[in-house]
C-alpha cells in the first residue's frame, strides 16, 4: 500500500459500482435461536432486493449458509463465500476511496468488535475488508486506527463527521488524541476538516450498541448541507443530544469555510420498545444510484421523513424498508451496507 498517494473518500451520493452486504450467519450473532436468525435474514434480503432495483449487490455468505442464501436471494444478487462472525458490512467491510486519477483503493481499518464489546466475536470479521479489497483488485490501504464505516460520514469535499466516544474510545484507540485521529483520517480518506460531535444516540451505549456511531445522528446529503436527527419529544434522552449537535453544527464550517445548511430530519413518534428508549432514526439510510433506501418504522412520522429525504436528494426515488428488526439487533440500513464508488 502507498501512504504517499492522495486518497479521498467520495460522497455517498456519487455514482456507485455496487453495494456490498453480508448474509446473517448461523452463529447466533443476530438472534438467540434459528427463528430469530431467519427474521434477520428476511430483512437483510428485503434490503438487498430494494438496493438491487438501483444497482448491483454483492453479498458475502458464510460457507455454511450458502444454500439458505440462494433460497432467499434473487439470482441477480452475486454471492461470494467468506467466513463471517456477523453481518454489519458498513463496519467490517472496507471504506472505498479514490486517488487523484480516480483509481480505487480500500481502507482496511483495524476492527476489534466495536471496542472489544463482550458480546462480539471478530476473528473472521476482521479479515472481511482485506478479502473484499482482494476480490475487487484495488489498492489495499491498511490503517492502525480502530474505526468502523459507521463512525464516519464525509461530504466528499474534505469534511468528515465523527464522535468523540467512538474515535477516542479507550476500547478502540487508547491514548490517541484528536490530532492523532485527524492525521490518520487525512491520510486514509483525504479530509482536512473534522467536525467532532460529543456522542451518539443514547441507545447506542447500551447492549448491542457501538458507543456512538455518527451514521445514526447526522449525514451530508449534498455539499454544504447536513441532515440532523431531530428528536422533538422532550421525554426522550436524545432530545438533549439534538440540541447539542445542532449547536456544534451551527458553529461549524465546511472545508471552504462556509456554514452548513442544517435540515432537521424528524425522529419517529415511537419512544420505546420492549427494552428501553429506541434509537430509531431516518438518518441511517443508504444513497444508491438514482435512489435512497430509507428506514421506516411503521410510524406516523414515516411519511414526513421520506418527504424530507426526497427534498434532500432531488431526482432520486426514495424507497422505504421496515427496519425495526434491524434496529432490534443494533443498527439500520446504512449499517448493513457498504457502497463501492465508480472508479475512473
Helices within the chain (DSSP H only): 34-52, 66-72, 89-92, 113-116, 128-136, 164-167, 178-189, 238-251, 302-312, 324-327
209 vs 6: CA distance, rounded Å: 33
C-alpha–C-alpha distance, residues 45 and 21, integer Å: 10
Is 138 a known active-site residue? no
Nearest Cα to Cα of residue 45 among 333, 340, 344? 333
Between CA 314 and CA 117 the distance in angstroms is 39
Does residue 116 contact residue 176 with C-beta atoms inside 8 Å? no
Nine-digit cell at 143? Answer: 490503517
Pick the catalytic residue from 138, 225, 295, 335.
335
Strand residue runs (E) in 130-224? 139-146, 153-154, 159-163, 193-197, 218-222
CB 122 within 8 A of CB 25: no
What number of H helices and E strands is found in the chain? Answer: 10, 17
Cell triple for residue 279?
Answer: 434509537
Q: Burial code of 69-83, b = ≥16 C-beta within 10 A, e = fewer?
A: beebbeeebebeebb
SS3 state at 102: coil
Q: Which residues participate in catalysis according to the annotation?
A: 335
Amino acid at each position: 500500500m502507498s501512504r504517499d498517494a492522495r486518497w479521498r473518500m467520495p460522497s455517498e451520493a456519487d455514482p456507485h459500482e455496487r453495494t456490498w452486504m453480508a448474509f446473517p450467519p448461523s452463529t447466533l450473532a443476530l438472534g438467540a435461536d434459528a427463528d430469530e436468525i431467519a427474521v434477520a435474514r428476511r430483512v437483510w434480503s428485503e434490503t438487498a432486493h430494494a438496493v438491487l432495483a438501483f444497482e448491483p449487490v454483492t453479498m458475502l455468505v458464510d460457507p455454511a449458509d450458502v444454500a439458505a442464501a440462494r433460497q432467499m436471494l434473487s439470482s441477480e444478487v452475486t454471492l461470494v463465500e467468506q467466513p463471517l462472525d456477523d453481518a454489519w458490512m458498513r463496519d467490517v467491510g472496507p471504506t472505498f476511496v479514490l486517488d487523484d486519477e480516480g483509481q480505487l483503493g480500500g481502507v482496511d481499518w483495524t476492527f476489534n468488535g466495536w471496542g472489544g464489546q463482550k458480546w462480539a466475536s471478530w476473528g473472521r470479521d476482521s479479515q472481511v475488508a482485506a478479502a473484499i479489497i482482494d476480490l475487487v483488485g484495488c489498492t489495499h490501504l491498511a490503517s492502525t486506527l480502530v474505526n468502523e464505516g459507521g463512525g464516519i460520514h464525509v461530504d466528499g469535499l474534505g469534511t468528515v463527521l465523527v464522535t468523540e466516544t467512538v474515535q477516542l474510545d479507550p476500547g478502540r484507540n487508547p491514548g490517541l488524541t484528536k490530532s492523532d485521529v485527524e492525521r490518520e483520517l487525512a491520510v486514509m480518506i483525504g479530509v482536512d476538516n473534522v467536525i467532532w460531535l460529543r456522542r451518539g444516540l443514547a441507545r447506542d451505549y447500551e447492549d448491542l450498541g457501538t458507543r456512538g456511531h455518527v451514521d445514526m445522528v447526522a449525514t451530508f446529503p449534498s455539499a454544504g448541507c447536513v441532515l440532523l436527527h431531530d428528536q422533538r419529544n422532550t421525554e426522550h434522552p436524545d432530545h438533549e443530544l439534538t440540541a447539542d449537535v445542532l449547536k456544534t453544527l451551527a458553529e461549524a464550517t465546511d472545508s471552504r469555510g462556509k456554514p452548513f445548511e442544517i435540515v432537521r430530519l424528524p425522529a419517529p413518534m415511537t419512544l420505546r420498545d420492549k427494552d428501553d428508549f429506541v434509537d430509531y432514526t431516518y438518518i441511517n439510510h443508504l444513497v444508491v444510484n438514482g435512489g435512497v433506501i430509507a428506514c421506516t418504522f411503521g410510524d406516523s412520522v414515516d411519511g414526513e421523513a421520506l418527504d424530507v429525504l426526497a427534498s434532500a436528494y432531488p431526482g432520486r426515488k426514495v424507497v422505504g424498508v421496515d427496519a425495526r428488526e434491524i434496529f432490534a439487533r443494533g443498527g439500520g440500513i446504512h449499517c448493513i451496507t457498504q457502497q463501492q464508488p465508480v472508479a475512473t
